[in-house]
A and B are shown apart, each in its own frame.
Chain A
């Protein structure tokens, strides 16, 4: 399966600031996704990162809050903008590889 890395692995940020999370894959993949996992909760899809076009957002998530870039088939970024304590969560990227979905190690974000 594809090898997925994320940066940073964790961060503590002040409210009102923004953080950009990077996701790198060791092979070209068509589908990349961004999920949020709040403490003790399940995974919720934020958006599908589309290469060369705007991301497709799920209900409850908007581009102004979570802008996403996908400049090529191996890389994507998610920005969490104007953060509040409610944004404290783990953010995970995932990729589809041979019809199965695999996750990156996640970025643990704490907003103070």
Chain B
């Protein structure tokens, strides 16, 4: 089956610094790459997504970049705040709208 590798599994940054999480995928036909944020005890929330016809997308402090040649995409969070602490999941569209998820990154923002 399809596979998404996500790194790092844990990430700790100082408040105000940037955080970067990377994912690689294997299916060259994948064309949709969402990122979800999951706070403790809550549902995963879609925070940003990118489709294969663009290389970068930005929404305030969050940005996602996509390199289709290398089959990897990354989440960038700038000016991190304590409320950014959560588990982040990348995913890719395997076709028929099915999502395959990465293993998750636990992000901790230290005040």
Q: Within residues 36 to 68 of chain B, which ones have a CB less than 8 A from any CB in chain A? A: 36, 42-46, 49
Q: Does B111 contact A (CB under 8 A)?
A: no
Shortest B99–chain A CB gap in Å is 6
Chain B residues within 8 Å of A, Cβ to Cβ = 1, 32, 34, 36, 42-46, 49, 89, 96-104
CB contact under 8 A between A42 and B103, given known A100-B46, A101-B46: yes
B98 touches A33 (CB 8 A): yes
Distance of A70 Cα from B47 Cα, bound (Å): 28
Q: Does A111 contact B (CB under 8 A)?
A: no
Shortest A26–chain B CB gap in Å is 15
For A105, the chain B residues whose CB sits under 8 A away are 42-43
Given contacts A33-B99, A42-B104, 9 further A-B contacts (CB under 8 A): A33-B97, A33-B98, A42-B102, A43-B89, A43-B101, A45-B98, A100-B49, A101-B34, A102-B46
